[in-house]
Structure 1
Amino acid sequence: MPLLTFLHQLPFKKALAWVTIALVSACVTPYEADFKQQPENVVVQGFVSNQPGPYTIQLVRPANYSFAGYSIGIQGAKVYITDDTGGREDLVETSAGGQYKTQKLQGVVGRTYQLHFEVDGKNYESRPELLRDAGTIERIYHEPFQSINPITQERQLGGWHVYIDTQDPAERGNYYRWNSVRYKKLVGCGSAKDRYGNPIYFLFCCSDCWDIERCLGPDCINVANDALNNGQKIARQEVATVPVECRDQYYLEVEQQALSRDAYLYWKTIKQLLQNTGGVFDVAPSAVPSNLICISNPQEQVLGFFSAVGITRVGHVVDRRDAERASCPAGLPYPPTGGIPPPCTPCEESLYRTGQKPRFWDF
């Protein structure tokens, strides 16, 4: 079933949860879902962390979704972030529309941050969020797992589970989210096309370039709290699954995020909504919690969440070169040899591609 058709059939709250996944997992890019109604709510996503900025705040308003539609970025808003020391930074609107970026701000563990913005003469703000220390990832490792071949019914390599070990602090009330991002070095950054617009061979990148693959969907919302293991080691916490594809070295970066209790409940609720199938044993649908209010009209519901997130990041490589099987998809052929070499293609920076060498890349 096409994803747009799937979303079209969902209740509004569940479809909104899918929009939130796309907004935050990609940080700035909303998924264009197909709602059947047109709420007037402002939808907000963004965060401050202890990692270098810039940080992006996304302000959108769902369009009319009688048919396929788009989330409309809110332009011309006044957006700024304050901290508990009296500091303030005004965000700059980007050309994308609805996206506002910081310029110099970098979050500091132990400080509290608050989002403020004005839209159509109305003032909005978030509750203050304390930026917590995410701790240290003591160990990261992977283990193979088996699956059943659907044709032969024989056991075969299914992939690799990636785990971490980390230490929970002695104090109670710690909340976590784990996330992973894969970086894949490219050979080709574009393609040559025939007279009909069909690609015929790839064009080399003019410089080093990496594709960025982000984890999306309910299975990628990996949250936990320390209610049952306060102060103890968190061992064998699964943070990613590496598939059997090409025989290569699979590089990924894993984040351990320290959340507030409100942010933890926000993500937990979204995960539950997305996993519900309509069965009698499903968790009853509930409103997605938000930490945003409209000061000018307290009765107005504001959707989304602004958070201050402590982040610890580590890199890891799963060597797939000796896998007994592979299913690497065929790509375009190399450019023809001889004659005038075809032009190279620049590596264009985006959410899904970068020319910046990944932090832990050493091969």
Structure 2
Amino acid sequence: MPLLTILHQLPFKKALAWVTIALVSACVTPYEADFKQQPESVVVQGFISNEPGPYIVQLVRPANYSFQGYSIGIQGAKVYITDDVGEREDLVETRDIGQYKTLKLQGITGRTYQLHFEIDGKKYESKPELLREAVAIDHIYHEPFRSIDPITKERQLGGWHVYVDTQDPDERGNYYRWTAMHYKYLLTTCTDCWDIVRCLGPDCIKVANDALNNGRKIARQEVATVPVECRNKYYLEVEQQALSREGYLYFKTIKQLLENTGGVFDVTPSAVPGNMSCLTDPDEQVLGLFGAVGITRVGYVVDRSNAERAACPPVLPYLPPGGIPPPCIPCVESLYRTGQKPRFWDL
């Protein structure tokens, strides 16, 4: 179901949660609310990590809250990032409206980073964020699960759950988030190209802390579910992120917003614990998060050759009458497609 359709069916607080998740992947995102008018606000999404940049910061403003409402990217902002040793980098505006990126900045573990920006003379900033040391993934593995066929009512292979094990450090106060992306090779483009399949929704927000198992092994943490589909290899890249407490609470609350059923005890949008504020007007509500994240990334392949399905048909260009293939399509870089070979593709 398209995200816009989903948003049209949601109340304001859940629509806000969907926008926040989608901002991780897009700069201009459908936004809808039941209320006709809400206080104007800025929504921020950005991260710096121990991995090479560029790092992206997205600034949007929710449009009027009507059925056709959208979040509109903010142009012309002055955006920069500072650290605790006095270094600063100004971000440059990209062709994507509301998106700003670094050019040279490299996140360094142990340093503290802060986002600053100015819009129409009003100044905003994040709380300082410590870039924590990435925690290694000790083991990644998958296990099959079975489900009931809705037509035959028989139990069949439903797919595979992918898990990781990791060792929590001895010190208290560690916070984690796990994400996974699937890359699929395309044969209809002029050059090598991969589709990037990202997971959205409450089931895709996987966070944890060490309050109950400090210094112990975190075992069987589910990070992805692989569908059966057909018999071929399924390539994944899994991230294990070391978050700040603020980052952990932010994603945990977003997950809660999406899972709530609309009862009287639902979390309100203002309760989403971001780390942004307006220096010029402290009463202005600023939504979103600028985070510093220590990332461990691994590649993994689920071999589906023994699946109870047929082999995947080859993806061939369409041949019109006469047998002359159409021109190939270019591989256009985006958040959902890339011409850069995935790091672990040759696993």
Q: 1:122 to 1:207 in 2, by over 3 A?
A: same
SS at match of 1:108: coil
How many angstroms does 1:9 deviate by? Answer: 4.3
The residue number in structure 2 matching 1:76 is 76
The residue number in structure 1 matching 2:305 is 321
Distance 1:11 1:338 in 2: 52
1:163/1:239 contact within 8 Å kept: yes
SS at match of 1:219: helix
Q: 1:343 to 1:257 in 2, by over 3 A?
A: same
Pairing of 1:118-133 with structure 2 (within 5 A):
118-133=118-133
| 1:176 aligned partner, one-letter code | Y
User: What do the CA deviations read for 1:201-257 (whole angstroms, capped 9, x no partner)?
Assistant: xxxx22111000011111111000000100011111110000111221100000000
How many angstroms does 1:72 deviate by? Answer: 1.1
1:38/1:63 contact within 8 Å kept: no
Distance 2:219 2:311 in 1: 32
SS at match of 2:203: helix
2:59/2:74 contact within 8 Å kept: yes
The residue number in structure 1 matching 2:337 is 353
The residue number in structure 2 matching 1:221 is 205
The residue number in structure 1 matching 2:30 is 32
Pairing of 1:128-167 with structure 2 (within 5 A):
128-167=128-167
The residue number in structure 1 matching 2:328 is 344
Aligned residues: 344
Distance 2:302 2:180 in 1: 13
User: What do the CA deviations read for 1:156-212 (whole angstroms, capped 9, x no partner)?
Assistant: 000000001111000000000000000000111xxxxxxxxxxxxxxxx22111000
1:172/1:230 contact within 8 Å kept: yes
User: What do the CA deviations read for 1:260-292 (whole angstroms, capped 9, x no partner)?
Assistant: 001100111110010001357x66546101111
Q: 1:301 to 1:313 in 2, by over 3 A?
A: same
1:176/1:259 contact within 8 Å kept: yes
Counterpart among 239, 242, 261 of residue 226 in structure 2: 242
Distance 2:39 2:205 in 1: 26
SS at match of 1:52: coil
Unaligned runs of 5+ in 1: 189-204
Q: 1:326 to 1:17 in 2, by over 3 A?
A: farther
SS at match of 1:265: helix
| 1:33 aligned partner, one-letter code | Y
1:312 aligns to 2:296 (yes or no): yes
1:77/1:117 contact within 8 Å kept: yes
How many angstroms does 1:71 deviate by? Answer: 1.0
Pairing of 1:1-363 with structure 2 (within 5 A):
3-24=3-24, 26=25, 28-35=26-33, 36=35, 37-188=37-188, 205-279=189-263, 284-285=267-268, 287-325=271-309, 334-335=318-319, 342-362=326-346
Q: 1:327 to 1:119 in 2, by over 3 A?
A: farther
Distance 2:312 2:21 in 1: 28
User: What do the CA deviations read for 1:317-353 (whole angstroms, capped 9, x no partner)?
Assistant: 0111221125969977643698765432221111111
What TM-score, normalized by structure 1, do the two folds share? Answer: 0.89
Q: 1:10 to 1:327 in 2, by over 3 A?
A: farther
How many angstroms does 1:33 deviate by? Answer: 2.0
2:117/2:123 contact within 8 Å kept: yes
Distance 1:71 1:215 in 2: 21
2:55/2:102 contact within 8 Å kept: yes
Range moving further from structure 2, 109-118 or 68-77: 68-77
Distance 2:242 2:208 in 1: 10
Q: 1:345 to 1:305 in 2, by over 3 A?
A: same
How many angstroms does 1:2 deviate by? Answer: 6.7
2:317/2:325 contact within 8 Å kept: no
2:187/2:316 contact within 8 Å kept: no
Range moving further from structure 2, 323-332 or 68-77: 323-332
How many angstroms does 1:130 deviate by? Answer: 0.2
2:176/2:242 contact within 8 Å kept: yes
| 2:30 aligned partner, one-letter code | E
2:318/2:326 contact within 8 Å kept: no
Range moving further from structure 2, 131-140 or 282-291: 282-291
| 1:343 aligned partner, one-letter code | P
Q: 1:106 to 1:38 in 2, by over 3 A?
A: same
Range moving further from structure 2, 128-137 or 283-292: 283-292
SS at match of 1:324: coil
1:244/1:326 contact within 8 Å kept: no
Identity of aligned residues (%): 76
| 1:243 aligned partner, one-letter code | P
Distance 1:31 1:329 in 2: 34
1:186/1:211 contact within 8 Å kept: yes
